[in-house]
């Protein structure tokens, strides 16, 4: 047998010896028993910010007059918000529109434009929730006639998310131990951990009616909840 043939034969023998071993390793992994489950950790806290949608809707016979009327009131509202200590970066325009207002359609006639309506809305963030009543009272008294959502939340939830993560992992591990014992085994090592996106469960409050002073309608911040959901896989021994 030549040297080259002997080399080929040796390579074939090496592959024949290696492949069965790899196959056995794959079989061992495929036959490994596991437990997979999910758990949620949640931390409740007092909200430290509130987001409010508010704005002004004005109407006049011409678009020019409606715009001037709206701009005058909206400028007063924004100046008042800044006067209450709001940072300009916490005041953001979310909607501005100019639309015609049509008369009721009459039989056989196309509806005519009878006025124009201008809407200017902003979303504001208040970091001192104790000022909420005073701020709402101020903007309503100055002519804001559109108060949308009032949403309480948490400014910096990351530290709370970390606590929720620990809670979720602890709960998942405890549940896995229970399942393992019920199945007549013991819980082995952690194989995988995956996290769903953490979230802050905000609380929404109903806005005050426009014809009432905001001070006469108490709004409570209540609590906000920071949640994290994890999915874990354990080895079952």
Mean pLDDT for 37-59 is: 91
Mean pLDDT for 188-212 is: 68
Greater confidence (229 vs 131) lies with: 229
Q: In the prediction, which pLDDT does 112 show?
A: 87
Burial class (CB in 10 A: 0-12, 13-18, 19+), 55: buried
Question: Structure tokens of 131?
Answer: 């000022």
Is the confidence at residue 23, as pLDDT, over 80?
no
**Residue 136 near residue 208 (C-beta atoms within 8 A):** yes
Q: In the prediction, which pLDDT does 78 show?
A: 93
Structurally, at CATH architecture level, domain 49-103+113-153 sits in 2-Layer Sandwich (3.30)
CATH 3.30.110.170: which residues of the chain?
32-47+156-237
CATH 3.30.70.2970: which residues of the chain?
49-103+113-153
**Residue 36 near residue 230 (C-beta atoms within 8 A):** no
Is the confidence at residue 117, as pLDDT, over 70?
yes
Distances 12 to 6, 16, 20, 156, 178 between C-alpha atoms, Å: 10, 6, 13, 62, 49
**Residue 132 near residue 50 (C-beta atoms within 8 A):** yes
The Cα 214–Cα 161 span in angstroms is: 34
Strand partners, 124: 52, 91
The whole-angstrom distance between residue 125's C-alpha and the CA centroid of its chain comes to 15
Q: In the prediction, which pLDDT does 67 show?
A: 96
- CB 180: neighbour CB atoms within 10 A? 19
Position of tokens 């819980």? 187
Q: Across the chain, what does the average pLDDT equal?
A: 81
Local confidence band at 98 (pLDDT 50, 70, 90 cut-offs):
very high
The Cα 121–Cα 56 span in angstroms is: 6
Mean pLDDT for 143-170 is: 89
Is the confidence at residue 111, as pLDDT, over 70?
yes
Greater confidence (75 vs 24) lies with: 75
Q: In the prediction, which pLDDT does 203 show?
A: 55
* pTM (whole model) above 0.85: no
Mean pLDDT for 95-101 is: 95
SS (H, E, C) the chain: CCHHHHHHHHHHHHHHHHHHHHHHHHHHHHCCCEEEEEEEEEEEECCCEEEEEEEEEEEECCHHHHHHHHHHHHHHHHHHHHHCCCCHHHEEEEEEEEEEEECCCCCCCCCCEEEEEEEEEEEEEECCHHHHHHHHHHHHHCCCCEEEEEEEECCCCHHHHHHHHHHHHHHHHHHHHHHHHHCCCCEEEEEEEEECCCEEECEEECCCCCCCCHHHCCCCCCCEEEEEEEEEEEEEC
Domain 32-47+156-237 - what CATH class? alpha beta
Greater confidence (203 vs 213) lies with: 203
């Amino acid at each position: 047998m030549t040297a080259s043939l002997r080399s080929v034969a040796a390579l074939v023998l090496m592959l024949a010896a290696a492949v069965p071993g790899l196959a056995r390793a794959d079989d061992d992994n495929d036959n490994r028993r596991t437990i997979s489950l999910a758990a949620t950790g949640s931390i409740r806290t007092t909200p430290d910010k509130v987001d409010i949608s508010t704005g002004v809707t004005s109407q006049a016979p011409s678009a020019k007059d409606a715009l001037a009327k709206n701009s005058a009131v909206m400028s007063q509202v924004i100046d008042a918000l800044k006067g209450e200590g709001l940072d300009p970066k916490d005041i953001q325009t979310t909607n501005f529109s100019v639309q015609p207002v049509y008369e009721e359609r009459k039989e056989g006639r196309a509806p005519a434009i009878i006025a124009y309506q201008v809407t200017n809305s902003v979303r504001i963030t208040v970091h001192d929730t104790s000022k909420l009543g005073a701020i709402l009272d101020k903007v309503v008294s100055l002519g804001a006639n559109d108060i949308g959502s009032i949403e309480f939340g948490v400014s910096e939830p990351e530290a709370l998310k970390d606590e929720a993560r620990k809670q979720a992992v602890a709960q998942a591990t405890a549940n896995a131990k229970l399942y393992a014992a019920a199945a007549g085994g013991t819980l082995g090592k952690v194989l995988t951990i995956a996290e769903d996106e953490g979230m802050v469960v905000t609380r929404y409050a109903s806005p005050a009616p426009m014809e009432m002073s905001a001070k006469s309608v108490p709004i409570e911040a209540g609590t906000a909840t920071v949640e994290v959901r994890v999915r874990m896989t354990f080895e079952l021994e």
